[in-house]
Amino acid sequence: MNKMAVRVPFVDLNLQHQPIQNQLEQAINSVLHRGDFVLGKAVADFETAFAAASSSQYGVGVASGTDAIALGLQACNIGVGDEVILPANTFVATLIGVLRVGAKPILVDCDPDTALIDLAAAAKVVTAQTKAIIPVHLYGQMVSPKQLLDFAATYKLLIFEDAAQAHLAEREGYRAGSVGTAAAFSFYPSKNLGAFGDGGMLITKDPEIAQKMVRLRNYGAAQKYVHVEPGTNSRLDTLQAAVLQAKLPYLQQWNSDRNSIAQQYDTQLASLASAGIIPVQNQSGAGHVYHLYVIKIDDSTSPERRQQIQDKLSAVGIQTGIHYPIPCHLQPAFTYLGYQPGDFPHSEKLAKQILSLPMYPGLSSSQIQEVVAEITSIMSGEQQQLLSV
């Protein structure tokens, strides 16, 4: 059986890379000529540039976004005996980062409209052992900085931002990564700013945290062969840093393109609200950088209806995704934490409803129209079936 040709891919990185191929090749060749493959010049250059672009002061490149969270928390002196609040509806890397430092993760529910952490729910779980909160800037939208800062001040907590999906996102005059004590970013290839492999970074305005992070990523060494604390090998490759540095000047425009694409989706999907197609709410305007464009297939009590819609879109060559189908507390690996189905109803309901549509710079208006037309056709077909029953 022949598979349907892809008409609208979920992500198309070639549209970003082809126009700047010469710059990318030059960046890679410069590393090859210098031969500084580990912690080379491009790493330091990119760390400085990305931290500045994110309205912060120090950047420390590491091997992945997961390491940026785990080592970053360690650099912030979060560890055994500490409780850390985080949302249940996030990628498991956020939770894994907390577990890696020996802290106790305290999961909370999300806002059903934005899918961002519910700070009112977070307030109910603060204890004397609570040391930090990790707001996840999910899908490219920041958690309200003003509300976060008020929350942290009220309960005397450290803010550690998970900004893996929110490169240069803005809200209330803040850039993602500039709100808290420190922030973790991922440069996985499909991110708004993506490498040609794995990569991550911690950014902070605190020089002591930055220096500790520099040690932790490099075996805990204060200088070569002098190891002052247990560390690991987690260094952003010089080649990857060079690629990221070449792409960074284009990031703002790429983000603007994503936001424009989202506005087109919003406009064209508006007529389907009565059929239960509801985009996850944007409360940040142009500051939302739309790493993902996510809709809710509302009034669905199980994922079967979503699966049917996803299958029908796939059958006509339109790729989609689900971010994420199982909340952290229901993942098999973490049942020992003691959470049960029903503990976080908004997160659990969203996991059954959400569907990520194609989103990337270069997605054309005609492709957006194709996606919406197919969804409209599917919903119309469902309505006709109901009427004929």
Are 13 and 189 spatial neighbours (Cβ–Cβ below 8 Å)? yes
Q: Is the peptide bond before 324 cis (omega within 30 degrees of 0)?
A: yes
CB atoms within 10 A of CB 128: 6
Hunting for tokens 């507390």 — which residue is that? 329
User: Angle, to 10 degrees, between the axis of helix 238-247 and the axis of helix 21-34?
Assistant: 150
Q: Is the dihedral of CA 17, 20, 22, 26 positive or negative?
A: negative
In one-letter notation, the amino acid at residue 367 is Q
Nearest-CA neighbor of 321 among 354, 360, 367?
354
Strands (E), the chain: 58-62, 83-87, 104-108, 130-133, 158-162, 170-171, 174-175, 182-186, 200-204, 221-223, 226-227, 277-279, 293-297, 354-357
C-alpha dihedral sign at 180, 186, 192, 194: positive
Tell me the catalytic residues: 191
Beta bridge partners of 279: 295
**Best CA proximity match to 242, nearest among 69, 19, 38:** 38
How far, in Å, CA of 246 to CA of 191, rounded? 15
d(C-alpha 48, C-alpha 42), whole Å: 10
